[in-house]
Structure 1
Amino acid sequence: MSTPRGGRRAAARPSSRRGRTRARRSEQPLTDAPPPPRPPRERRWGGRTPRVLWLVVLLAGVVALGCAVADIGPAWLDGAGGTAVSSAYTWALAARTGGRPLVFAGLAALMGVVTVVTDLEVLSGGAAVLTCVVSGVLAVMMTVPAASYLLAVRETLIACCIAAVGAFATVGFEPNADRERFEYLTLAVGFVLVLVLVFRLGAGLHGLGRRGLLVVVVGSLVLALTIAYAELLRRYGIASVVEPALDVVRWSRENLRAFPRPIVVLLGIPALVWGIHMRARRRQGWWVCAFGVAATLPVAQSLVNPQGSFVEAALQTVYGILLGLVVGYLVIRTDLALTGSRGSRARAEEAAAAHRPEPSRFRSL
């Protein structure tokens, strides 16, 4: 049985139409496909209520410490202020580094309360060490990257202010410990803690690179040589070597009423300024910032000296910061010159291009 030509065409048309319809449908985007995942948001420090409570506790501790310095109120007010500041700082450090703020802050508050109630010498020393270390490490962790030198100076001053509040909280526990042992212990514990944190923030040891490895080695050598040289001069120093240095210290204390600590001037402040400046460009800047605790920890230790005064401690801190900022400026200029950013125009273009993202000050790193 034969089929007419028109019938063949009519029978073929539906199939061709269905083919064209399927082709059009395959070209159209799928509306039922799930939307692309959003980038993860930065974690804030809990909700609004915990942040307000944290601020209230911190301000209450600062007011209590201020009243204790002015000799206003009961005798236990300085211990209560130290407990409040230590708890708030511990909460902030844990939140900043992605830990468990409530757990660690609760332990710090419990330790402070037991120390104030029992008034045991061992607990007072332990609470003072904890407060000093947390203050120095938090001061470094609370900084943010800076594209220019002036912004790096601002972040350095903020870090020193945080450590200064921690100094009042540390002495609020009235530790009865040897000053040198206290300084060495807090410096060692603080460096270990900040290196553990920076190991994660700086992408581990493989993220160092040649420049980062050189910075870590040189910084470690400067720290070790500074401590060893000071200890050798104090114990076994020759009079011909020690006397000129002591003469400079005496002249500074007689005329300027204080003498800055060499570790702050030569290592702590320059490393903090340079590290903050480098973090806006490279992640290795965190490894440089780790040596910034050589400045923040001495600031937090400044009031432990029983023979010193508040004025001398403040002037010692100010002199160390000012001289350290000068050294840090020279280090940054040298770094920019070695990387090819010479001249004011080249430095301005380099600062405009430095935009490495990092969480804001009150978000988890």
Structure 2
Amino acid sequence: MPRTAPRRRAEPLPPEPRPRRGLPRPSGRTKVTVAWVVVALAVAALVAAMVPVGPGWLPGVGSVAVATTYTWALAARTGGRPLVFSGLALVLGTAALVLDEEALRTGAAVLTCVVSAVLAVMGTVPARRFRQAARECGFALLVAAVGALATVGFEPRIALVRFEYVTLGLALVAAFVLVHRLGAGLHGLGRRGVAVVLIGTVLLAVTLAYAELLRRYGTPGLVTSLLDAVRWSRENLGAFPRPIETVLGVPALVWGCHMRARRRQGWWVCAFGVCATAPVANALANPSISLLECTLSVLYGAVVGLLLGYAVIRADLALTGPRGRRSRRAEEAAAGRPEPRRTDALL
């Protein structure tokens, strides 16, 4: 008998899976466009409320929209979970408006101010040249200014000095926590980074401590002379720049963006940039200062801070950069440490 195996019948092929019918997922560019549109509409609502034009609930809705969008953008930029954190921000903002409790409104204002200050720094990109670094500084201050409108839109009841210290402290902590991940941890600092962080910390402590000691224990003659200088600037120039923004925040942001194009340690310098964005984000919380004076104060601080930042960049290049104009041009052309785009995640 033949030992050949009998033929097997051909098994039918499994049916092809049917494509799922549903809405297509939006692309990253679409999400960014929607976020810009929401922020633009929210700013229009907040400005209309300041005129004032429109219903009384307009500033609250605008503030909630800015806080939610900024939280989503910060989480997406830093590799977090945008839907989770933006949802929490939406719930908190809505609860503050619906319940109309002072504690909820103040908490929403604090979180909006902190998120705006940190997002303004995290949204910057490396800059090869000084004018590009100045552009990034202007972008950061603009983002923080929108956050300032949203902060006062919640109509919080605050103690001004305490509010400024709390928002600045929380923004610094959040910025350094994020920079710790972006800058490869403390071991990625190096001697240069350690020196920069120590100098920035000492300068911040001296600025805050000097202002507080002067407010409490300053001699009448010294306080009077300083107040006379501030009063003269406000009467003749329209405003007086905020010292922490001018001396530390803007120069650190400009130098940090310039350094990030060459070294990762530039992120640690940029972390001190919240000393510029946080004062801008809480600038409108002072009811005794007009909108025009707040704007002029920010502009004056930015101009003086850019000059200081330019001096720091030139000194850095003179001490650590190559000699000669051609060598500097070659170093500038080669400076291009890769980083994601402004609308992409950093992690």
Q: TM-score, normalised by structure 2?
A: 0.90
Residue-by-residue CA offset, 1:178-209 (whole Å, 9 max, x unaligned): 11000000011000000000000000000000
Structure whose alpha-carbon radius of gyration is higher: 1
Q: CA deviation at 1:46?
A: 5.7
Residue-by-residue CA offset, 1:103-129 (whole Å, 9 max, x unaligned): 111111111111111211111110100
Tell me which amino acid in the other structure corresponds to 1:88: T
Q: CA deviation at 1:50?
A: 3.4
Who is 1:147 aligned against? 128
Are residue 58 (structure 1) and residue 39 (structure 2) matched?
A: yes
Q: CA deviation at 1:355?
A: 0.9
**1:90-239 paired onto structure 2 within 5 Å:** 90-239=71-220
Structure 2, unaligned runs of 5 or more: 1-25
Q: CA deviation at 1:342?
A: 4.2
Q: Does the CA-based 8 Å contact 2:144-2:280 persist in structure 1?
A: yes
Q: Does the CA-based 8 Å contact 2:321-2:328 persist in structure 1?
A: no
Question: In 1, distance between residues paired with 2:300 and 2:40?
Answer: 27
Question: In 2, distance between residues paired with 1:174 and 1:189?
Answer: 20
Q: CA deviation at 1:347?
A: 2.5
1:292 is paired with a residue whose SS is: helix
Change (3 A) 1:333 1:342: farther
Residue-by-residue CA offset, 1:220-260 (whole Å, 9 max, x unaligned): 01001100000010111112322222221111011011100
Question: In 2, distance between residues paired with 1:205 and 1:357?
Answer: 20
User: How many residue pairs get matched?
Assistant: 321
**1:75-94 paired onto structure 2 within 5 Å:** 75-94=56-75
Question: In 2, distance between residues paired with 1:148 and 1:292?
Answer: 18
**1:4-83 paired onto structure 2 within 5 Å:** 47-83=28-64
Question: In 1, distance between residues paired with 2:312 and 2:184?
Answer: 24
Are residue 335 (structure 1) and residue 321 (structure 2) matched?
A: no
**1:262-281 paired onto structure 2 within 5 Å:** 262-281=243-262
**1:236-251 paired onto structure 2 within 5 Å:** 236-251=217-232
2:285 is paired with a residue whose SS is: coil
Are residue 314 (structure 1) and residue 295 (structure 2) matched?
A: yes
Question: In 2, distance between residues paired with 1:226 and 1:105?
Answer: 34
Change (3 A) 1:341 1:242: farther
Mean CA deviation greater in 250-259 or 54-63: 54-63
Change (3 A) 1:47 1:276: closer
Stretches of 4+ aligned residues off by more than 6 angstroms = none
Q: Does the CA-based 8 Å contact 2:179-2:268 persist in structure 1?
A: yes
Change (3 A) 1:211 1:69: same
Mean CA deviation greater in 238-247 or 264-273: 238-247
Change (3 A) 1:315 1:342: farther
Question: In 1, distance between residues paired with 2:166 and 2:56?
Answer: 28
1:146 is paired with a residue whose SS is: coil
Q: CA deviation at 1:47?
A: 3.8
2:80 is paired with a residue whose SS is: coil
Tell me which amino acid in the other structure corresponds to 2:71: T
Which among 275, 287, 293 is matched to residue 294 of structure 1?
Answer: 275
Mean CA deviation greater in 70-79 or 326-335: 70-79
Mean CA deviation greater in 64-73 or 50-59: 50-59
Q: Does the CA-based 8 Å contact 2:32-2:343 persist in structure 1?
A: no
Who is 1:361 aligned against? 342
2:88 is paired with a residue whose SS is: helix
Residue-by-residue CA offset, 1:73-103 (whole Å, 9 max, x unaligned): 1111001100000100000000000000011
> Structure 1 vs Structure 2: percent identity of aligned residues?
61
